[in-house]
Every structure is written in structure tokens, then in C-alpha cells.
Amino acid sequence: MDQRTSKIVLVGFMGTGKSTVSRLLAEQLGWSRYDSDEVIEETEGKISKLFETYGEAGFRDIESKVLVSLLEAKESSVIATGGGCVLMEHNREFMLKHGFVVALTADAEHIIERVKSDTSRPLLQGDIAANVHRIMEQRKHAYDFAHLRLNTTSLTPQQAADMIMKALQDK
Ligand SMILES: Nc1ncnc2c1ncn2[C@@H]1O[C@H](COP(=O)(O)OP(=O)(O)O)[C@@H](O)[C@H]1O
Ligand SMILES: O=C(O)C1=C[C@@H](OP(=O)(O)O)[C@@H](O)[C@H](O)C1
Ligand SMILES: [Mg+2]
């Protein structure tokens, strides 16, 4: 990890709490916070529209560019990524090089409960439960590369943030 600046990068499946926990962590650390999905929506438009117009591959290209720019910025920050950005090897390498990468996990049933009334994730629309199970199976090892894994199934977002803070102090 580049020692000139510090970055905490949260990765994990949709609904594991990356966006939520990143807010708490950034507040606790007094660091900036970025969420790649929010940056994309501010600069390029709604994620569902981007999937419609450019397909998933087009969205991934935009996402990778945003991720690289956030990781290269010379400031300490907490970065919440979208759940699929880990699918590109280059992104995984870049995250490991520039930050402390924390993978949030949760079991499928809790994830379904957390995301079922949210229509903002195009990959989950339709039969949300079936889509969660199918994509989780496809990505079952996708988050294994992280420096740290944290199962949030029975944690509140604050407890998850506290455990990440503790891991940083013990590092
Ligand atoms: N540890 C948790 N326990 C219960 N609900 C959670 C937890 N973390 C996040 N949530 C809720 O789950 C939903 C998805 O969280 P979010 O932070 O958007 O996940 P992600 O960014 O990983 O997709 C939100 O409604 C959030 O409030
Ligand atoms: O896992 C994925 O492929 C995606 C996750 C989403 O972000 P969250 O993980 O924050 O839900 C968002 O980037 C997009 O809908 C695609
Ligand atoms: Mg998110």
C-alpha cells in the first residue's frame, strides 16, 4: 500500500453495506468519502440508464475509470465501490496497491432483506431473491483478494465500522 496517502477501499456483494459503512468510517477518521456509484451518477447519469444504454460492459468501463481516479487522488479517503468492480483484475490490483481493501460479506437471506425494496440495482431487478443467489454463486470467490474480510450478517453498520477501525489500529 502506498504510504504517502491512506485509503480504505470497501468491496463486497450488493447490500453488504459498503455505502453505509463508508459514511461512518469517513466520519470517524475525519477523511473524505467517495462512493464510486455516486460519482458515476453525478458525472454520467443514473446507473440503471447507463446499463440500458451501454450494457454492463459499458458501465464497467466507466466504473473502472472512476475507481482509478479515486485511488490516484492525493488525499486520504474511504472509498465505497460498486459490487462488480472487483470483476476486473486490473481493478483488484489497483485497489491492493493503493489502499487497505476490506471485503464486507453477508449471507444471501440478509442481503435479500436489505435490497428487496430498492430498485436502483439493475442486475437484481425481476426476481430479486433468485438474482441474488445466482450472482452470489457466480462471484463466490470474487472478494477473496481483499486484505480483510468482515461478515456483517449480524452486525450493525456501526459495529462493522468499529471493527474495521480496530483492524486498522492493529495493522
Ligand atoms: N450491517 C447492516 N445491517 C442491516 N442493514 C444494513 C447493514 N448495512 C447496510 N444495511 C442496509 O442495507 C441496505 C444496503 O446497504 P448499502 O450500504 O447500500 O450496501 P452496498 O453499498 O454494499 O450495496 C441499506 O438500506 C442499508 O441501510
Ligand atoms: O454488483 C454489481 O454489479 C453492482 C453493484 C451496485 O453497487 P452496490 O454494490 O453498492 O449495490 C452498482 O454498482 C451496480 O448496480 C452494479
Ligand atoms: Mg453501494
- The model's pLDDT over 15-24, given as tens digits with 9 standing for 90+, comes to 999 999 999 9
Cβ burial, residue 159 (10 Å; 0-12/13-18/19+): middle
Cβ burial, residue 96 (10 Å; 0-12/13-18/19+): middle
- Record the cell numbers describing residue 150, joined without a space: 468482515
CB 122 near ligand 2, within 6 Å: yes
pLDDT tens-digit readout, 65-93: 999 999 999 999 999 999 999 999 999 99
What architecture is the 7-170 domain classified under in CATH? 3-Layer(aba) Sandwich (3.40)
CB 121 near ligand 1, within 6 Å: no
Is-contact 37 82, C-beta < 8 A? yes
**Domain boundaries defined on the chain:** 7-170
The predicted structure's pLDDT at residue 171 = 81
Distance 170 CA to ligand 2 centre (A): 30
Q: Which atom of ligand 1 lies closest to the CA of 35?
A: 21
